[in-house]
Amino acid sequence: MSQGADKSDNTNKDGVTSRPTGPEVVKSYLKTLPGGPGVYRMIDEQGDALYVGKAGNLKKRVTSYTKLSGHTNRIARMIAATAEMEFTTTETESEALLLEANLIKRLKPYYNILLRDDKSFPYILMTEDHPFSQVVKHRGARNRKGRYFGPFASAGAVNRTLNTLQRAFLLRSCSDSVFESRTRPCLLYQIKRCSAPCVGYIDEESYAKLIDETIVFLDGKSRKVQSHLSKLMDTASERLDFEQAASYRDRIHALTAIQAHQGINPKNTEEADVFAAKREGGQVCIQVFFFRAKQNWGNRAYFPRHDKSETLADVLESFLAQFYDNKPPAKLILLNLGLANQHLLADALSIKAERKISIFVPKRGERRDLVNHALVNAREALARRFAESASQRRLLEAVADTFDLDRPPQRIEVYDNSHIQGTNAVGAMIVGGPEGFQKNEYRKFNIRSDAITPGDDYGMMRQVLTRRFTRLLKETAEANADDERPWPDLVIIDGGRGQLGVARDVFAELGVDGVPLVAIAKGPDRNAGRERLHMLNHPSFILEPNSPVLYYLQRLRDEAHRFAIGSHRSRRKKDIGASPLDDIPGIGAKRKRALLHHFGSARSVKQAGLADLEAVEGISQSMAKRIYDYFHNDD
């Protein structure tokens, strides 16, 4: 149940309306507040969330904010800025904790501890919607029917594991559409990475046994699988089937390899998430390790945003609640320090996961070793971050000197285009700054080819910059003072004087002023190290080949080029896979597959007569008429 209150506005002598803020506003809500659990939101004059909190007793917690003393400076500022409060009551405090984490991630309140870089983790998906299960990497919402194994800390860890599973269990990785259209085995069969169920080289029952063995292995019973394969190898050898025996031997080697390269592997801890928090120099690093099936499935370092007055335990507790908002927790969570609401958090995660979740701070044994290992990694990650930030700061100071900027740039935007003879043209923007590449700020622009001549690089750059800065101007005009979109301190264009002139004209048309522009032209014969730099109202120049600034600019340009080419390839691949059948209303994947199997190609479908279309399984008389009319009606 949610509740809030509208406060009357005050009008000052200048006719400007303002809303009352501070402890009195908070106090006005006490009369109607219940004494049960729930979540409260403190909101400023602009309607933006300042803080989201939970409480076992809402009335008692809000009362604490009405006192005029005893608060930290951060809390005092937050209370002073509060113009409105909203409340949501819950049945239990555990539900309040989960709702609090969800709201913090969605609203990103200024005074809360925020989990940054919260990208989804990859999983291994074993599908269950096809007689021959597909084993693939999966990221995002888990909507497809099947078993999910993970999380893995990186795509690389998933790819290595998938590679090993293919070698050990010969499972297919191709999509269902490719599977249905195969008439002969692919290369993966030739290199002994697949059993070729697509062409009937293995029956459904035998393939199901491979799937069962894979599940047993991923559930942590690798020794059982290896023992079974060893017996099969011995049996094959005894009947002199040495080729089959060699196949089992290779599969055993693959299973051994995945266990040998997992790094630190626990012997007795089957499934656990390990968290270690470390604070140094005003920054906090939280290192996360994932252990599944008694194997280390990787780790990742996080640097959550927090106020310096927050204790390390408070930062870790808030981090955990947000971290598991969109991820299933392991049945065992190990920490390097205790939390004030440790049991409450365990109960909340148990409710969400619908199974028992335990949270411990181990004192001895293997589990303590796992936590210590994570703590060492957290300390080292902080040291690297400090070293990188110091060197990056010096580098940005040198960039400012090179291009005569007022201060080291905090946001550098780099633009590039990619196309093949004007087709599938894509513009790309990447962002760099004190913390390196900010990949969550990257943007791609599908070039609207009807507006420019194919292959017109100047026209493409004009369109990209116009769209980007038109939107930025609009967002800036609509934003309040605390939520303004960041403007670039330096814009870099991949190109020469021509591209620089285009950027200058776009900025002049839009009224963009004060943003420095630089164009990087490739050297003679595209030699790296001989790039020529162009600036407005400045002669072009070349940096020394061993200049750190030149190396940094090359990295920025290469990253923009990589991102642009990747976006172009994705668009081209999508276009290659497109079919005229996709545009016919009522034609889904099943009917499309039936038509292609019957006629062999979309062109043959187009040339088919009405009677031939009606002969296809799953195509009714009315649907055949619709397909025929689509290809033969002039309008």
Rounded-to-integer distance, Cα 591 and Cα 361, Å: 56
User: What region does 614 belong to: left with phi over 0, alpha with psi -120 to 50, or beta?
Assistant: alpha
CA-CA-CA-CA torsion sign (50, 51, 57, 60): negative
**Which region among 2-11, 230-239, 311-320 has the lowest average model confidence (pLDDT)?**
2-11
Q: Render pLDDT for 513-540 as a digit per residue (tens, 0 to 9).
A: 889 999 998 866 555 667 889 999 889 9
**CB–CB of 61/5 below 8 Å?**
no
**pTM metric for this prediction:** 0.53
Rounded-to-integer distance, Cα 148 and Cα 218, Å: 10
Q: Render pLDDT for 320-343 as a digit per residue (tens, 0 to 9).
A: 988 888 788 889 999 999 998 899
Q: What is the pLDDT of residue 12?
A: 46
The reply to whether 580-632 shares the fold of 2-107 is no
Q: Measured in Å, how far apart are the chain's first and last C-alpha atoms?
A: 55
CA distances (Å), 509 to each of 332, 458, 492, 497, 513, in order? 59, 16, 19, 18, 10
Q: Structure tokens of 421?
A: 């003879």
Strands 490-494 and 517-521: parallel
Q: Render pLDDT for 125-148 as a digit per residue (tens, 0 to 9).
A: 888 888 898 888 888 777 788 888
Q: Render pLDDT for 444-493 as a digit per residue (tens, 0 to 9).
A: 888 876 667 766 888 888 999 999 999 888 888 776 544 556 889 999 99
CATH architecture of 2-107: 3-Layer(aba) Sandwich (3.40)
Torsion of CA 607, 611, 612, 615, to 10 degrees: 150
- Boundaries of every domain in the chain: 2-107, 123-260, 272-383, 412-575, 580-632
| Mean pLDDT across 193-212 | 88
Estimate to the nearest angstrom the gap between the alpha carbon of 449 and the chain centroid: 30
Helix (H) or strand (E) holding 560: helix 548-577
Asked if pLDDT for residue 586 goes beyond 50, the answer is yes
Rounded-to-integer distance, Cα 548 and Cα 566, Å: 27
Q: Indicate the length of the chain as a whole number.
A: 635
Rounded-to-integer distance, Cα 289 and Cα 301, Å: 9
Residues facing residue 541 across a β-bridge: 533
Q: What is the pLDDT of residue 361?
A: 94
Q: Render pLDDT for 34-74 as a digit per residue (tens, 0 to 9).
A: 888 889 999 888 888 899 988 888 888 889 888 877 788 88
CB atoms within 10 A of CB 50: 22
Strands 490-494 and 412-420: parallel
What is the dotted CATH code of the domain comprising 412-575?
3.30.420.340
**CB–CB of 519/553 below 8 Å?**
no
Rounded-to-integer distance, Cα 320 and Cα 313, Å: 11
DSSP helix/strand/coil, 537:
coil
pLDDT band at 221 (very low <50, low <70, confident <90, very high): low
Rounded-to-integer distance, Cα 131 and Cα 553, Å: 52
Q: What is the pLDDT of residue 262?
A: 44
- Class of 580-632 in CATH: mainly alpha
Helix axes 242-260, 155-169, angle to 10 degrees: 160
Q: Render pLDDT for 355-380 as a digit per residue (tens, 0 to 9).
A: 899 999 999 888 998 999 889 888 88
Burial of 500 (0-12, 13-18, 19+ CB in 10 A): buried
CATH architecture of 272-383: 2-Layer Sandwich (3.30)
